[in-house]
Copies of this chain bind each other. A is one copy, B any other.
């Protein structure tokens, strides 16, 4: 259908998205919530269209040799579709950030100024073959009053096309502009490139996915970008770390869900306590099936390890692998983190107040922790509800991004004839 002669061009789609964003900016929370409820219902009602499209993508994926992990991310089934619809309903319950007054005052000359949250306008998202992102991001964008232009991975294009059609039909039913949610998958890589250069049409671009995807968007985009995600996450066991705390937190940070960006990748241990801490900490990981890539000092304390190479220190494994290094002191730990961190999340396990405060102050990451699992860097865990992504950049948003991070602000100035002296 989308490929007929009557299909809108790339430029048409962006223009329509921009027009839709102007309508959406003025829509009340009640109407946006009604649309989200309709989307959740439509996802459930259209299982018979969505799952076969997904089967087609899965078959193509297997033919093209996609890894099991990617196939798993691509797969939708009845249970996952229910989860997707539930996630949309959870967004209904979140507070609408649009219209919130951030600050305001009456100036001495009587001008009333206020800074108010408004939608960005059009949000572009470039991501990989994860159909859940299509639905999550569309729902978050709508709730925050933004139109969204989606460019998903080609491996999920059949699933995404049907998902967007289902979302658009729900928008139509609730009299919101259907062009508020659009896919540009049919324009392929060239469409993605044009999206990155669509200044004046796209207000912000959010790449979600691998480090290489994010880096290429950052390098090529002239539209402002919010980087999300890559996490070479470190945990440092200080000299004074409590053993039981160390064992539990390291295990949780590495093993609970190794495929996500807040999972632990590199463990650093103070030399003076390596003998006390490393054998039990690594034994627990080893039992859980973790492959331990360790430097020579760590290997001398734990035999079931492979030698770590330079590459290990820079690896975001996203698997049951961990890099382990013994360092001479906190300074050496901080140096290592400065060199290899992707500025996502770092945690210290310690009972020493001074070292805890130094770690919190000196590690330059979106989230820094004391005595907690790195897995807590998450919008839900922070109390934001659904999460747009985790920003690892410093501009606009840093750390877990909630709905407010999908808005900008506008200054409203109300006068009664004031001129400047």
Complex: A332 Cα to B351 Cα, angstroms = 66
Complex: A419 Cα to B381 Cα, angstroms = 11
Closest to A338 in B: B22
Per-residue interface assignment for chain A, residues 383 to 399, with 1 indicating a CB less than 8 Å from any chain B CB and 0 otherwise? 10000000001111011
Residues B411 and A368 in contact, CB atoms below 8 Å apart:
yes
Residue A361, interface by CB 8 Å: yes
Query: How close is A412's CB to chain B, nearest CB, in angstroms?
Result: 6
Residues A120 and B394 in contact, CB atoms below 8 Å apart:
yes
A32-40, A296-304, A370-378 - interface stretch: A370-378
Residues B249 and A419 in contact, CB atoms below 8 Å apart:
yes
A3-11, A80-88, A167-175, A217-225 - interface stretch: A217-225
Per-residue interface assignment for chain A, residues 237 to 255, with 1 indicating a CB less than 8 Å from any chain B CB and 0 otherwise? 0000010110011011100
For A362, A382, A420, the residue with the greatest tally of chain B CB atoms inside 10 Å of its CB is A420
Query: How close is A115's CB to chain B, nearest CB, in angstroms?
Result: 8
Query: How close is A247's CB to chain B, nearest CB, in angstroms?
Result: 10
Residue A73, interface by CB 8 Å: no
Residues A222 and B226 in contact, CB atoms below 8 Å apart:
no
Contacts A105-B383, A218-B222, A411-B367 given; does A248 touch B419 at CB 8 Å: yes
Copies in the complex: 2
CB contact between A395 and one of B204, B253, B410 (< 8 Å): that residue: B204
Interface size on A, residues (CB 8 A): 68
Residues B365 and A410 in contact, CB atoms below 8 Å apart:
yes
Q: Give the secondary structure class of A's interface.
A: mixed
Query: How close is A386's CB to chain B, nearest CB, in angstroms?
Result: 17
For A199, A367, A419, the residue with the greatest tally of chain B CB atoms inside 10 Å of its CB is A419
Closest to A203 in B: B394
CB contact between A418 and one of B113, B373, B413 (< 8 Å): that residue: B373
Per-residue interface assignment for chain A, residues 297 to 331, with 1 indicating a CB less than 8 Å from any chain B CB and 0 otherwise? 00000000000000000000000000000000000
Query: How close is A353's CB to chain B, nearest CB, in angstroms?
Result: 11
If A22-B364, A377-B413 are given as contacts, then 18 extra A-B residue pairs at C-beta distance below 8 Å, sorted by A number, are A107-B383, A113-B382, A115-B399, A199-B218, A226-B395, A249-B418, A251-B419, A252-B420, A367-B411, A369-B415, A371-B417, A372-B414, A373-B419, A373-B420, A375-B419, A376-B418, A398-B408, A400-B411
